[in-house]
Amino acid sequence: MLVLSRKKDQSIMIGEDIEITVIAIEGEQIKLGIKAPRSIDIQRKEIFLAIQEENKKAATTSIDLLKQLTMTFPKG
Amino acid sequence: MKIQTRYLGDIEIQSEKIIHFENGIPSFLDEKKFILLPFDESTPFYILQSVTTPELGFVVISPFDFFPDYQVDLNDSTIEALKIEKEADVALFVILTVQEPFTETTANLQGPVVINTKNQQAKQISVNDQHYCTKHHLMPQAVGKEG
């Protein structure tokens, strides 16, 4: 992993069109500003991982369990 | 065309009904073609079935059937990626994690599946809203609070 030191208001560029700026440093928390093309998805890593993990679990449903569930919810 | 499914046996599908996930979905990045099938006529459950992998199928619901206040703002990158022109073309589903016992089943409100029904392009997005997480109980719980 590349490690760079930055101070408040300093930036790094990723490629030609992604800019990440240190906006504020408050104790243990750092605020980052990110400029990127609209086509780029930006998200917190823990959310990204949580969705990956949930998809894996969701894909393992057994048919028996699913039948138990669906029988509980007849459509109105 | 005929496909095999995880829950519904062999079925005949029309290729124009195939939903295209250009970038796959998280943890299943190679899975780009799915089809949405009602589990049966009498329940609000659907199966999001991979067209290419018979054993891969997700149980999904329309979130508004269970969480009437659910709200998602689509960001520019989603609107652009799916070429969404108007709100009426958008269909939203959330994936269930069916738990044992089934009364513990949860819905992933943080990662809804967005479908542009106009061009059948879809994407699982992540919602940047602290009210939503990946595990919201579908049924009221005896103890503790939902969500």
Query: Most distant CA pair in chain B: distance in Å?
Result: 47
Q: B7, B30, B43: which to substitute to probe chain A, counting the most A Cβ within 10 Å?
A: B43
pTM, rounded to two decimals: 0.89
* Burial (0-12, 13-18, 19+ Cβ within 10 Å), B31: middle
Query: Mean of the per-residue pLDDT values for chain B?
Result: 93
> By three-state DSSP, how is residue B17 classified?
helix
**pLDDT reading at B5 higher than 90:** yes
Q: Collect all residues of chain A within an 8 Å Cβ-Cβ radius of residue B59.
A: 58, 61, 66, 69
CB contact under 8 A, A51 and B108: yes
B127, B53, B66: which is closest to A41 by C-alpha? B127
Distance from C-alpha of B52 to C-alpha of B30, rounded to nearest angstrom: 10
| pLDDT of B50 strictly over 60 | yes
Tell me the C-alpha distance between B2 and A53, whole Å.
30
What integer pLDDT is reported at residue B41 of this predicted model? 81
- Distance in angstroms (rounded) separating the CA atoms of residues A68 and A61: 12
* Tokens, residue B61: 């619901």
Please write the tens of the pLDDT for every residue from A15-72: 999 999 999 999 999 999 999 998 888 889 999 999 999 999 999 998 889 988 888 8
